[in-house]
Amino acid sequence: MTRPRLVLALWLAALVACAAIVARSEISTDLSAFLPRSPSPAQQVLVDQVREGAVSRLLLLAVEGAPADALATLSRTLATRLGREPALASVHNGADTALDAERDFLWRHRYVLSPDVVPARFTASGLHDALRHDQELLTSGLAPLLKRSLPGDPTGEMLTIIDAFQGETPPHSRSGLWFSPDDSRALLMVETRAAGFDIDAQQQALARIDDAFDAARQETPGAAAARLLVTGPGVFAVHTRATTQQDAERLSLIAAVLIAGLLLAVYRSPRLLALGLSPVLCGALAGFAAVGLRFGFVHGITLGFGVTLMGESVDYAIYLFAQTAPATTPAATLARIWPTLFLGALTSVAGFSAMLFSSFTGFAQLGLFSITGLLVALAATRWLLPALLPHGFAAVEARLFARLPLMLMRHGRRLRLPVLALLLAAAALLASHRGGFWQDDLSSLSPIPTQNQQLDRALRHDIGAPDVRYLVVTTAASEEAALEASERVSDRLRAMTGDRLISGFDAPDRYLPSAAAQRARQAALPDDATLRRRLQEALAGLDFRADLFAPFLVDVAAARQAPPLQRRDVPPRLALKLGSLLLERGSRWTAVLPLRGVAQPQRVAQGIAALGDVGSVFVDLKAESDHLLRDYQREAVLLALIGSLVILVLLALGLRSPVRVLLVVAPLAASVLLTVALLTAGGGKLSIFNLVGLLLIVAVGSNYCLFFERQRHQAGEAERTVASLVLANLCTVIGFGVLSFSRIPVLHDIGLTVAAGTLLSLFLGAVLSAPGGVPVAAGVASASRRPAP
């Protein structure tokens, strides 16, 4: 076997191996891969709430566009239909029908559920106080609500339990159904069985809701024009995935067609085009396989976006093809450009390697994908392409592209001053920037369109469901311990509710008290004879009918003997609530206590800290999400700095001269400076995606500058070299420029940054790195060593 054939055979074998790994890798679309891996406990709560919390499963539905009476009928029909959907855990439209099981449960177990069941309450004087209070209530406005339960519950345990459930004002209702305050929308609340981030299941649930609405609308007279509005985390997740897919597919296709068209126009040979793209394809396959091997799954975004990131490997073939002069061989060209090509690729790898250490699994995957992809594409260019290029390979004519940069190179020295002025202007612009450079709101990274966010706010306002911002979270080693901790926190929170520090809260122990608390409450109930005697004593001086409280005696006797309440006894709707407030993660149990109407967060936090419970923390979700964003930003800055440092070290090792390093680095730094100034002009702010884009400018732009700088040492072939750079840059600008039209912040931000930055680095490289020009700072240093050219 000849050597090229051997190379080809080995290569094919490697490709087959990669394909085999790829075939077995799973492609995931779970967006949480782009949430951090190792957050603090408080952040873990945020992430869990976002991922699986009850909040994530809640969809708000609004029906509008018909007279209110028709909407009411439609709301009932729709609720009935949705109630039959297995994908939905619960459906509410305001009609109070399904609560009976829950009320019955609370009533039957009131003596273990009520935190007010303590021995003092069942002494003669405790009972007397309760009864006197009852007599007052009987003559008050609450009487109609209490009358029925009074004979069985004179100590008012049910009222204590119900009071704790009391939320903010209930939603406005009309004909017994929830409506927006202006009666223009009938409102429904739906809970899906699947978590908000199970996008496939959410999509199915949404489709079933749409079908149910269509059917309900046809059944309802006068509702032909009615519309359904749906909002909630599930809708956002489905919407985001759809836009991501649409944008990725549409924009990648446009970019691919444009780049292939350009290359075909230059190469004038489909075969050359195919060969030129083959390193990219091999690299993508290898990158895919590497990520599959390392992580066990490949994220959809890694796949789509990774190919874009390693897009600079298209340039490798361009350099080879466009720099091969007529009557020379590709092998000779390779030998000539290899050191530059190799160093350029290494700098890019160094840049991307920073991403490997990101706490986002998604970014780590992207890093591995692009590094593997670049290295394989480089190897393919070095060893595969020469073996595959046809004999008598016709050199590519692309001199036209070289005109402008060549002109810049010739006038480099004269252009230094304008460039310096431009940089000073950019620096001044940056210095005058006010209000911080960073987008300081997580929602700014959100791919959800403003319109949808507004609808969400409007419907939430209508139904009176404010976002939960403050929580107390407590973790423990067992379910029982978590419930006990939750009870300690609940006690403190009840006191705070009394002091009006908060207006209310929810807690898992409300639905399932710890076994210890249940035993204590049972022990607080006196035996029958004692209770009879005390009750008799307590009734003295009050106006109650003598035998009125017989049911009370029966119920207390039963409660004393009742087996302990367990999780399986809790009726479905309350069980769902309990499930969202009491979570098992690994071997740890977490109790979540959402707070309502927090007036003084500071004092609440102090009160919780004063409990001395190590596992219990007060969490401000807004502050945590802001922290999270700042952590991401700090990490992104740190990784970018490390990446830049590694690139500097690499260049120093590869070029072995501080001046040469400076010649390469100066235009890159200048491009980054100008790009930042452009992005933040007019008060604009940077996202972490912009920062990733800046790293890419350095990774890709360093190739150009290295080639320009090499012109100082290897004169000749200038025209071909420059033409190949322009062609490569055009491909990059097309690829990323098209991305900047995306509606998704990550694609838009990176696309815009890289397209602008690489174009700048091409021109600045021509002015500063190439022999015609000498960077201002380097001018002095180099002048002392050698005569100016």
Partner 1 sequence: MTSGSDAALTRRSGVAAALLLWAFPAAAQAQHFGLEQLMAELRQVKSATGRFVEHKDLHMLDKPVEASGTLIYLAPDQMQKITISPRWERLAVRQSTLTIEQEGKSRSFSLADRPEIGAFVESIRATLAGDLATLDRFYTVTLTGDAADWHLSLVPKGQKLQDLVKDIRIGGSGRSIRTVETEEADGDRSVMRIVEEDIR
Question: Which of 151, 571, 597, 779 lies at the binding interface for partner 1 (CB under 8 A)?
Answer: 151
Residue 132 interacting with partner 1 (CB under 8 A): no
Residue 166 interacting with partner 1 (CB under 8 A): yes
Q: Using CA atoms, how far apart are residues 681 and 690, in angstroms rounded to an integer? A: 14
Q: Using CA atoms, how far apart are residues 522 and 564, in angstroms rounded to an integer? A: 9
Residue 140 interacting with partner 1 (CB under 8 A): yes
Residue 171 interacting with partner 1 (CB under 8 A): yes
Q: Using CA atoms, how far apart are residues 789 and 770, in angstroms rounded to an integer? A: 12
Q: Using CA atoms, how far apart are residues 469 and 309, in angstroms rounded to an integer? A: 37
Which string of x and - marks every residue 177-216 that binds partner 1 (by CB under 8 A)?
Answer: x---x-----------------------------------
Residue 547 interacting with partner 1 (CB under 8 A): no
Region of 168-176, 452-460, 618-626, 735-743 interacting with partner 1 (CB under 8 A)? 168-176
Contact positions with partner 1 (CB under 8 A) in 2-21: none
Do 32 and 49 contact (CB within 8 A), yes or no? no
If the CB atoms of residues 180 and 732 are measured against partner 1, the closer one turns out to be 180
How is residue 435 written in tokens?
Answer: 């209000």
If the CB atoms of residues 549 and 704 are measured against partner 1, the closer one turns out to be 549
Q: Residue 732: which of 704, 754, 711, 713 has the closest Cα? A: 754
Q: Using CA atoms, how far apart are residues 267 and 320, in angstroms rounded to an integer? A: 12
Do 581 and 506 contact (CB within 8 A), yes or no? yes
Question: Which of 3, 23, 38, 144 lies at the binding interface for partner 1 (CB under 8 A)?
Answer: 144
Do 285 and 22 contact (CB within 8 A), yes or no? yes
Residue 172 interacting with partner 1 (CB under 8 A): yes
Region of 165-173, 249-257, 367-375, 595-603 interacting with partner 1 (CB under 8 A)? 165-173
For residue 61, the minimal CB distance to partner 1 (Å) is 19
Length of the chain: 789
Residue 551 interacting with partner 1 (CB under 8 A): no
What is the secondary structure of 692-747 as a DSSP string? HHHHHHHHHHHHHHHHHHHTTTS-S-HHHHHHHHHHHHHHHHHHHHHHTT-SSHHH
Residue 342 interacting with partner 1 (CB under 8 A): no
Contact positions with partner 1 (CB under 8 A) in 637-696: none
Residue 536 interacting with partner 1 (CB under 8 A): no
Identify the residue whose tokens are 């021509």. 766
The CB-based long-range contact list for 447-452 (8 Å cut-off, 24+ gap) reads 447/240, 447/243, 447/244, 447/743, 447/744, 447/745, 447/746, 448/236, 448/239, 448/240, 449/743, 452/231, 452/235, 452/236, 452/239
Question: Which of 4, 41, 67, 176 lies at the binding interface for partner 1 (CB under 8 A)?
Answer: 176
Residue 540 interacting with partner 1 (CB under 8 A): no
For residue 599, the minimal CB distance to partner 1 (Å) is 15
Question: Which of 69, 136, 210, 249 lies at the binding interface for partner 1 (CB under 8 A)?
Answer: 136
For residue 187, the minimal CB distance to partner 1 (Å) is 13
Question: Which of 543, 610, 656, 785 lies at the binding interface for partner 1 (CB under 8 A)?
Answer: 543
Residue 104 interacting with partner 1 (CB under 8 A): no
Q: Using CA atoms, how far apart are residues 9 and 670, in angstroms rounded to an integer? A: 45
Burial (CB count within 10 angstroms: exposed 0-12, middle 13-18, buried 19+), residue 23: exposed
Residue 545 interacting with partner 1 (CB under 8 A): yes
For residue 234, the minimal CB distance to partner 1 (Å) is 27
For residue 141, the minimal CB distance to partner 1 (Å) is 4
Question: Which of 8, 404, 520, 548 lies at the binding interface for partner 1 (CB under 8 A)?
Answer: 548
Question: Which of 96, 214, 467, 537 lies at the binding interface for partner 1 (CB under 8 A)?
Answer: 96
Burial (CB count within 10 angstroms: exposed 0-12, middle 13-18, buried 19+), residue 286: buried
Which string of x and - marks every residue 701-730 that binds partner 1 (by CB under 8 A)?
Answer: ------------------------------
Beta strand pairing call for 88-92 and 185-192? antiparallel
Q: Using CA atoms, how far apart are residues 111 and 559, in angstroms rounded to an integer? A: 7
For residue 545, the minimal CB distance to partner 1 (Å) is 6
Question: Which of 147, 268, 519, 567 lies at the binding interface for partner 1 (CB under 8 A)?
Answer: 147
If the CB atoms of residues 168 and 200 are measured against partner 1, the closer one turns out to be 168
For residue 139, the minimal CB distance to partner 1 (Å) is 4
Read off the amino acid at residue 585. R
Q: Residue 479: which of 583, 608, 599, 579 has the closest Cα? A: 583
Q: Residue 188: which of 156, 160, 226 has the closest Cα? A: 226
Residue 564 interacting with partner 1 (CB under 8 A): no
Residue 246 interacting with partner 1 (CB under 8 A): no
Beta strand pairing call for 177-178 and 58-64? unpaired
Do 656 and 712 contact (CB within 8 A), yes or no? no
Read off the amino acid at residue 222. G
If the CB atoms of residues 140 and 443 are measured against partner 1, the closer one turns out to be 140
Q: Using CA atoms, how far apart are residues 439 and 630, in angstroms rounded to an integer? A: 10
If the CB atoms of residues 184 and 269 are measured against partner 1, the closer one turns out to be 184
Residue 150 interacting with partner 1 (CB under 8 A): yes
Region of 134-142, 318-326, 598-606, 618-626 interacting with partner 1 (CB under 8 A)? 134-142
Q: Using CA atoms, how far apart are residues 108 and 88, in angstroms rounded to an integer? A: 28
Q: Using CA atoms, how far apart are residues 94 and 111, in angstroms rounded to an integer? A: 29
If the CB atoms of residues 140 and 602 are measured against partner 1, the closer one turns out to be 140
If the CB atoms of residues 139 and 432 are measured against partner 1, the closer one turns out to be 139
Residue 107 interacting with partner 1 (CB under 8 A): no
By CB under 8 A, the count of residues binding partner 1 is 33
Contact positions with partner 1 (CB under 8 A) in 28-67: none
**Residues contributing to the site for partner 1 (CB under 8 A):** 94, 96, 135-136, 138-145, 147-148, 150-151, 163, 166, 168-177, 181, 543-545, 548
